[in-house]
């Protein structure tokens, strides 16, 4: 391996021989062309690296889902360009490297590099040549070793200068065959990989849908938690506790959105716990409570149009006013009021046990003329009514939360459904209250999971909702 000669300009102090400066100047053009050749060679290598990297990336992306493959594919050329820039700066040849390259490619032996080495090795001969005194004889007489060495170095330097000036323009860019072959092979592999459909695209789309669905459901759960927290009156209120559970669940959905199975299990678990707290007879009790409140207000005020909405709070106010004027009632009026209260016993039993007990005690006290006992019983009755109303409201809030949890779980499951056909027919009918029954008919083909639920309440003509989904092939009709 040849030793790279040093640049006399950088090593030696003082003035240099004009021949050395001329050699350096003559090497400048060769140096630029040599640098450009090195840049071209490294560009071919960078291109081959990018092509191979892209081919490997997209081949791997066909085996495993890489959602960031496109971003990485764009980043590879950018990284290669940065690396090429660094390599180009580092590849700039020195004067010594240029001299060796010119000697080799220009067929100059080692003239140029030797001239630089001799200049550094013999600094005394690197400076400007002293002119001889007039009349001095350089052909006769003894010559010492230093003078002979100086003459040799300068003659070699002059020969090198003449040779480099006659050298043609060297270092034209070359075609790098090996990197070009590698690049072509990588492109031949890359083109079909990019053109043919990637089976992992569906997996990536499904994962993206799951993440987006998880994020949407997390936002909805946070909103539901805020609503329940506002309604929850105490830390022990079921709505307050559920609000905290929903916030924790929303946080887990955001932290691990792609863990579909775990998220579905957690949603189902919370929904199941909420439904376990529900009283299935809430609506019947609420209806009885409304009727009882309306009847009590009318009995307490004597107004047949009082409290049309059956508001328990309004009834409590009416009962408080009634308790204040009990002593002003005649025995006959107290007996009549006791009779009216006793007739409401069945309705009170269907509304609330505590209200039924207080109502019975109030009726008995009035029948016996015990106004103090009646006043106390009426006070308990009013509190029982408002307490029953609060429990009904809480139960309804929990039922609504369970329904929204069910919707969140179903939407999340739908987003994670992969490789399954969806049934095209969904017969459903949902007549409005008081309207004629609705019918629906649908026909579909495909594979999919079907779930149906029918709920109805009605009086007179009735109310109803029906929904169904088909599985396999067939026809279905639903009526609600």
In a domain, 297, yes or no: yes
How many Å separate Cα 76 from the centre of its chain?
23
Residue at token pair 């207080």: 358
Q: What is the pLDDT of residues 77-116, one digit of tens each?
A: 999 999 999 999 999 999 999 999 999 999 998 999 999 9
Indicate whether 80 belongs to any domain: yes
Contact 415, 215 (CB under 8 A): no
For residues 469 and 450, the answer to whether their CB atoms sit within 8 Å is yes
Arithmetic mean of pLDDT, 259-281: 91
Same domain? 181 vs 276: no
Last residue in a domain, options 359, 390, 416? 416
- One DSSP character per residue, 259-309 reads -HHHHHHHHHHHHHHHHHH--TTHHHHHHHHHHHHHHHHHHHH--TTS-TT
Residue 365 and residue 386 in one domain:
yes
Q: Would you put residue 434 in left (φ > 0), alpha (ψ -120 to 50) or beta?
A: left
Residue 258 lies in a domain: yes
30 has pLDDT over 80:
yes
Query: Residue 24: inside a domain, yes or no?
Result: yes
DSSP 122: -
Let me know if residue 181 belongs to a domain.
yes
CB-neighbour burial class of residue 165 (10 A; exposed 0-12, middle 13-18, buried 19+): exposed
Same-domain pairing of 315 and 397: yes
Same domain, 169 and 221: no
**Same domain, yes or no: 55 and 124:** yes
CA 348 to chain centre: 54
Query: Tokens 């103090």 sit at which residue?
Result: 372
Q: Nearest 5°: CA angle at 367, between 381 and 365? A: 40
Residues 131-145: tens digit of each pLDDT = 433 444 444 545 688
Q: Count the residues in the chain.
A: 480
Question: Of 40-49, 322-331, 334-343, 447-456, which one has max mean pLDDT?
Answer: 40-49
> CA distances (Å), 463 to each of 283, 477, 480, in order?
15, 18, 8
pLDDT at 449 over 50: no
Q: Which pLDDT score, from 0 to 100, does residue 403 have?
A: 93
CA atoms within 13 Å, Cβ hemisphere of 456: 20
Q: Are residues 231 and 211 in the same domain?
A: yes
Confidence of residue 233 (pLDDT cuts 50, 70, 90): confident
DSSP string across 162-211: HHHHH----------HHHHHHHHHHHHHHHHHHHSPPTHHHHHHHHHHHH
- Please tell me whether residues 98 and 217 are part of one structural domain: no
Whether 438 maps to a domain, the answer reads no
- Identify whether residues 241 and 359 lie together within a single domain: yes
Residues 53-82 as b/e (b if ≥16 CB within 10 A, e otherwise) read bbbebbeebbeebbeebeeebeebeeebee
Q: Which residues pair with 454 in a beta bridge?
A: 466
- Contact of 58 with 186, CB cutoff 8 Å: no
Phi (first) and psi of residue 479, to 5 degrees: -135, 135
Give residue 406's pLDDT: 93
d(CA 160, CA 183): 42
Q: Which two tokens stand for residue 374?
A: 């009646």
My answer on whether 163 and 216 are in the same domain is: no
- pLDDT recorded at residue 144: 81
> Is residue 444 in some structural domain?
no
Same domain, 158 and 252: no
User: What would the mean pLDDT of 139-168 be, rounded to a whole number?
Assistant: 85
Domain that holds residue 392: 200-416
Last residue of a domain, one of 158, 193, 228: 193
Residues 164 and 206 in one domain: no
159 and 247 share a domain? no
Residue ending a domain, among 365, 384, 416, is 416
Whether residue 287 lies inside any domain: the answer is yes
Domain count of the fold of the chain? 2
Q: Please give the Cα distance from 410 to 469 (Å, whole number).
A: 14
* Residue 171: both structure tokens together: 């270092």
DSSP 125: G
Each residue's pLDDT tens digit, 185-218:
999 999 999 999 999 888 888 888 888 889 999 9
């Amino acid at each position: 391996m040849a030793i790279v000669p040093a640049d006399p300009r950088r090593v030696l102090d003082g003035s240099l021989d004009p021949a050395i400066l001329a050699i350096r100047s003559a090497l400048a053009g060769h140096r630029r062309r040599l640098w450009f050749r090195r840049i071209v060679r490294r560009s071919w290598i960078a291109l081959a690296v990018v092509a191979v990297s892209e081919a490997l990336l997209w081949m791997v992306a066909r085996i495993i889902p890489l959602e960031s493959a496109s971003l990485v594919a764009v980043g590879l050329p950018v990284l290669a360009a940065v690396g090429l820039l660094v390599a180009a700066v580092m590849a700039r040849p020195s004067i010594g490297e240029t001299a060796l390259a010119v000697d080799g490619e220009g067929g100059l032996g080692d003239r140029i590099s030797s001239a630089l080495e001799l200049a550094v090795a013999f600094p005394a001969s690197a400076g400007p040549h002293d002119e001889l005194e007039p009349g001095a004889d350089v052909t006769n007489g003894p010559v010492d070793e230093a003078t002979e060495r100086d003459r040799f170095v300068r003659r070699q330097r002059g020969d090198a200068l003449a040779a480099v000036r006659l050298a043609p323009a060297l270092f034209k860019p070359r075609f790098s065959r090996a990197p070009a072959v590698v690049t072509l092979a990588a492109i031949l592999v890359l083109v079909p990989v990019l053109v043919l459909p990637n089976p992992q695209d569906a997996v990536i789309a499904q994962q993206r849908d799951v993440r987006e669905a998880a994020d949407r459901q997390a936002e909805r759960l946070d909103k539901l938690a805020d609503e329940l927290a506002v309604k929850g009156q105490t830390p022990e209120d079921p709505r307050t506790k559920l609000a905290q559970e929903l916030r924790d669940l929303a946080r887990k959905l955001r932290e691990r959105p792609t863990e579909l199975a775990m998220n579905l299990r957690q949603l189902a678990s919370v929904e199941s716990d909420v439904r376990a707290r529900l009283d299935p007879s809430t609506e019947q009790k609420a209806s009885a409570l409304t009727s009882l409140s309306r009847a009590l207000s009318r009995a307490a005020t004597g107004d047949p149009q009082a409290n049309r909405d059956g508001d328990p709070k309004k009834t409590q106010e009416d009962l408080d006013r009634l308790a204040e004027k009990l002593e002003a009632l005649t025995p006959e009026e107290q007996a009549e009021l006791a009779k009216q209260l006793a007739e409401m016993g069945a309705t009170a039993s269907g509304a609330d046990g505590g209200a039924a007990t207080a109502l019975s005690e109030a009726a008995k006290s009035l029948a016996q003329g015990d106004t103090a006992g009646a006043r106390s019983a009426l006070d308990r009755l009013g509190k029982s009514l408002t307490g029953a109303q609060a429990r009904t409201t809480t139960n309804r809030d929990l039922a609504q939360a369970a329904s929204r949890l069910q919707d969140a779980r179903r939407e999340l499951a739908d987003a994670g459904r992969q490789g399954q056909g969806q049934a095209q027919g969904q017969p459903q009918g949902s007549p409005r209250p008081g309207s004629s029954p609705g019918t629906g008919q649908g026909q579909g083909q495909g594979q999919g999971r079907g779930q149906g639920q029918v709920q109805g309440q009605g009086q007179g003509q009735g109310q109803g909702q029906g929904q169904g989904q088909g599985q396999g092939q067939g026809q279905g009709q639903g009526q609600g």
